[in-house]
Amino acid sequence: MKRPSRRQRVKPKQALLEASQLSECERQQLADRVRYQGSPFHKRYPADYGFPEPKPRPDKTLCDADAPLLKSQAEELLVAGVLRGMVSVQFRSGWPQNIWSVREGVVYESQLQNQTLGEYHGYPMSLDAAFAAVVLEEWEKRAP
């Protein structure tokens, strides 16, 4: 029997870092350094990100499926997630592997794509995912 492709395998369980694990100062320092780069594979409207034409892949979630999400808005979401401590327990080169945020009831997951520069790309999480419910609950609990 053929082994399923990497894309078809189930992701390991996501784990959100406890809010107390990062001080307010550490969160601010991280928020000042993270950058949203984006990915052409998750964009229907890529011009604001510097991508010449749409290249969405059918197996990828579009972060701007319903309406354009400007790069500045995506970066604001990324920073808001850091400031609330909505980061994964897993870090790579000092950067959290994932950062989660919420906008208008939609849970967004940002994933580290350049661990040298701290650049991320992101996409909406499916609300039927059990972890999305955890993120929504924690987002409200960790509100400033």
User: Strand 119-124's sheet: what is its strand order?
Assistant: 35-36, 119-124, 106-114, 98-103
Nearest to 38, CA basis, from 67, 64, 14? 64
- Do the domain assignments include residue 1? no
Residue 106 falls within a domain, yes or no?
A: yes
Q: Is residue 39 a part of any domain in this protein?
A: yes
Q: Is residue 2 part of a domain?
A: no
- Please state the pTM of the whole predicted model: 0.77
Per-residue pLDDT of the chain (144 residues; tens, 9 = 90+): 444 444 444 354 578 999 999 999 999 999 999 999 876 666 666 665 666 665 656 666 666 566 667 788 889 999 999 999 999 999 999 999 999 999 988 899 999 999 999 999 888 887 667 889 999 999 999 998
In a domain, 10, yes or no: no
Q: What is the pLDDT of residues 87-106, one digit of tens each?
A: 999 999 999 999 999 998 88
Length of the chain: 144
Domain membership of residue 134 as a residue range: 18-141
Cα gap 37→71, rounded to integer Å: 8
The structural domain count of the chain equals 1
Specify the pLDDT at position 8.
42
| Amino acid making up residue 20 | S
Q: Which residue(s) pair with 101 in the sheet?
A: 108
Residue at 77 is within a domain? yes
Q: Give a yes or no: residue 8 inside a domain.
A: no
Q: Is residue 92 part of a domain?
A: yes
- Within 10 angstroms of residue 25's Cβ, the number of other Cβ atoms is 8
